[in-house]
Structure 1
Amino acid sequence: MSKRGPWLQGASLVFFLALCLGIGLLGSWVTAGSVTSWYPTLRKPSFNPPDWVFAPVWTTLYILMAIAGWRIWRHTPHAGSRLPLLLFALQLVLNLCWSVTFFGFHSLSGAVVVIVALDMAVLATMFSFRRVDLLAVGLLVPYLLWISFATVLTVAIWRLNQLLAADGAAVILA
């Protein structure tokens, strides 16, 4: 455990919350325009959740991620702690990249690539966290489950809309 004082402990928790929720806000800002225009035009699988589910789920997940990252930071004040925190930062960047790729660029195939990389980054983060704090790993389990579901959903949307594009091409060529 770190010998950092209570003020620094509290300030660092606020930092991690601001960082994770800030990533979420940036992602929602990128997403906002497409949710009402482009996204409704896509074919979606029957298991696609209603739109209202996403904000509370993601808010909860970002808070859990922040607490997990903070727990690692406070347990690892030495230079050997860099890898777990770098992996944590990488998965946050990939999380934002998925929103930018899917909703900003409207690239379904690109979103599949990004979310698979995100899955791997979260697993690597959890693996590196386990040597430091098992509770931090546990706090990331709901996130891993949700992005695993999001991976299946992203692949399904990509496949359904690839079929749509192929159907459209067949109509144009006919």
Structure 2
Amino acid sequence: MTTQDRSRIIGATTVGVIGNAVLGSAATDTTSRWYRRLRKPSFQPPGWVFPVAWTALYADMAAVVGQSLADLQEQGRNAEYEDLKKALAANVALNAGWSLLFFRGRQPGLATIEAAALAASSADLTRRSMAVNRGRGAWLVPYAAWTAFATVLTGTIWYLNR
């Protein structure tokens, strides 16, 4: 595999992750009257934490999964390559879906279920990346932890606002 091939795979992964981030951000409206009126738990981080955390986690995901995909293709592990691509696509779809369900759909209950699916998907993405390169894949552990936290946070908001 050439350096250009690796760059193409990593670039395509990055574009997909950035596209997801833009979609999720466009769907998020923390200034809406609906959102401001929601009761929130005491453990909810301040609003400025979310864009900082998500930006770092998306960059991490793009780098780790992009490198993992390039490694798999380079090693001729085509089935694992295809499976990781599908896992990434599912993860980014779930990630953007949460913002759409919660902020646009105003459905915290459905968003909680979707967040749980995202947390499971994030753990799977981490597992798959660690199978390619354990040390590099471990960099996805914070992403999996953050999505698990997001599930608890969303579920608590749902509970407080039933």
Query: TM-score under structure 2 normalisation?
Result: 0.90
1:102 Cα shift?
0.6
Q: What do you get for the CA RMSD once the two structures are aligned?
A: 1.4
After TM superposition, give the deviation of residue 152 of structure 1 in Å. Answer: 1.1
Task: Determine the structure 2 residue equivalent to 1:47.
Answer: 43
Alignment map for 1:1-174 (pairs within 5 Å): 4-31=1-28, 34-37=29-32, 38-77=34-73, 78=76, 79-80=78-79, 81-162=81-162
Q: Which stretches of structure 1, 4 residues or more, deviate above 6 A after TM superposition?
A: none
Instruction: Classify the secondary structure of the residue corresponding to 1:35.
Output: coil
1:122-146 CA distance string (max 9 Å, x none): 1222222232121342121110111
Structure 1 unaligned blocks of 5 or more:
163-174
| Letter of the 1:36 counterpart | T
Partner amino acid for 2:152? V
Residues of 2 paired with 1:144 and 1:128: CA distance? Answer: 12
**Count of residue pairs brought into register by the alignment:** 157
Contact 2:27 2:104 in 1 (8 A): yes
- Unpaired segments of 5 or more residues in structure 2? none
**2:10 and 2:62 in contact (8 A); partners too:** yes
Query: Who is 1:169 aligned against?
Result: none
Q: TM-score, normalised by structure 1?
A: 0.84
Partner of 1:10: helix, strand, or coil? helix
Q: Higher mean Cα deviation, 147-156 or 79-88? A: 79-88
